[in-house]
Homo-oligomer: A and B are copies of this chain.
Amino acid sequence: MDNFTYYNPVKLIFGKGKIASIGKEISRNEVNRVLMLYGGGSIKKNGVYEQTVNSLREAGIEFIEFGGVQPNPTLEHARAAIEMIRENNLEGILAVGGGSCIDEAKSIAAGYYLDDPWSAFEGREKIVKALPVFTILTISATGSEMNSFAVLTNEEERKKWSIGSPNLFPRVSIVDPEIQSSLPRRQTANGGADALSHVMEYYFLLDRQEITLQVDEAIMRSIISSIDKLMEDELNYEARANFAWASTIALNGLSCAGLPNGDWASHAIEHGISAMHPEIAHGEGLSIVFPAWIKYVSRKRPERFLRWAKNVWNCDSIDLAVLTMKEKFHDWGAPISLREKGITAGEIAAIAENTLLQGLPGVFQELKREDVTNILKLAL
């Protein structure tokens, strides 16, 4: 095991009917006025909006609503939110949505105290404080409800980049799996591919961390079996709840215990893709890229990939495991090729260019331009 620090102060409240507690939780944190941030308005159809607003009112929390967060949340929208917070003297942010909404909330929380909210993403300003963030999760996938990372898209510069800081842990996150029953099948599938990818970004680097290898295999198997069950019956609460918790712990510090860093090359390539194509969801990009990355790099250290093939996919070879994973993603309804999303060979050079804007990605294998190009070709 390498040295590491585990620190995660998020209070995560999990279960049916728990949204009703958000008002009191915000109040307990001595916050009285929040920006209520959400996306396209699906929360007004599934009862989440009403439950949230009722809880805020009962606890005497004042709030100003701000909808319109995009699936790939944008710098422009975050800037507008910061303006609203300033104009209305708000004290915190309540994100009601999926990872996009929570990531934008964190970006706003940090950006509020910076000269320019984008400067932290570029590494020009350090995040030394942030507004308190509260979340009600509506789509399990990114784990953002229990970590300190955020990804934001600068549309003007076509950059989809990330920040991380201990100041960005949400104070309280509420995960009610029941409200996810009405999710479109496609979003459940993307969530599965996303959560699985988070574990894989660490797993293949593990070696002397037997406990973390075993825990990561447990999380991966649980993700796969829960999504399988949800594909048969979207109302299966136990499967929904198991997936929700699995996706939270896939990226809350547990899956990387004993490692200094993850690999994150597949994420970097995915960010390259969706920076150019903001209509592609994060989980979609990952379900396309990850199998190709494994095919390309696994020769370097086959024993770890073989263990993954056996213990996660019950397969005797790496190739068969990659094929099984692709079939699984496809059966769930997640894309497994760039072509499915309308991207052709002609765009590969530009995507590789965008991917490399922040330097060469990858730890397991540092990827040069040629490598990124080859992986994208495998993903065509």
Residues in B whose Cβ lies below 8 Å from that of A9: 7-9
- Cβ–Cβ contact B4 & A15, under 8 A: yes
Contact with B along A231-274 (1 / 0, CB 8 A): 00000001001100110010000100110000000000000000
By the criterion CB–CB under 8 Å, are A1 and B241 in contact? Answer: yes
- 1/0 per residue, CB under 8 A from B, across A199-220: the answer is 0000000001111101101110
Q: Are A211 and B242 in contact (CB under 8 A)?
A: yes
Report the copy number of this chain in the oligomer. Answer: 2
The stretch of A221-229, A288-296, A318-326 in contact with B is A221-229
Residue A12 is within 8 A (CB to CB) of chain B in the complex: yes
**Which residues on the B side are within 8 Å of A11 (C-beta)?**
5-7
Let me know if A13 is at the binding interface, CB within 8 A: yes
Contacts of A210 in B (CB 8 A): 222, 225-226, 238, 242
Query: Is the pair B6, A208 in contact by a Cβ cutoff of 8 Å?
Result: no
Considering only CB atoms, which chain B residue lies closest to A6 in the complex? B12
User: Are B13 and A5 neighbours in the complex by a CB distance under 8 Å?
Assistant: yes
A377 at the B interface (CB under 8 A): no
Measured CB to CB, the closest approach of chain B to A192, in angstroms, equals 13
Once the chains bind, are A211 and B215 in contact (CB under 8 Å)?
Answer: no
Contacts of A245 in B (CB 8 A): 1, 211-212, 257-258
In the assembled complex, the Cα of A128 lies from the Cα of B17 at a distance in Å of 27
Q: How far does the Cβ of A223 sit from chain B's closest Cβ, in whole Å? A: 8
Chain B residue contacts of A209, Cβ below 8 A: 242
Report the bound CA distance from A366 to B362 in whole Å.
53
Nearest-CB distance from A267 to chain B (Å)?
23
Mask, A1-36, CB within 8 Å of B = 1, is 111111111111111111000000000000000000
The answer, among B8, B211, B241, for a CB contact under 8 Å with A8, is: B8
* A1 CB contacts on chain B under 8 angstroms: 14-15, 177, 238, 241-242, 245
Please name 4 further chain A to chain B contacts, defined as beta carbons within 8 Å, in addition to the given A6-B11, A8-B8, A209-B242, sorted by A numbering.
A3-B17, A210-B225, A217-B218, A249-B257
Q: List 20 A-B contacts (CB under 8 A).
A: A1-B14, A1-B15, A1-B238, A3-B17, A5-B12, A5-B13, A8-B8, A8-B9, A9-B9, A208-B238, A210-B225, A210-B238, A210-B242, A211-B242, A211-B246, A214-B219, A215-B215, A215-B218, A245-B257, A249-B254
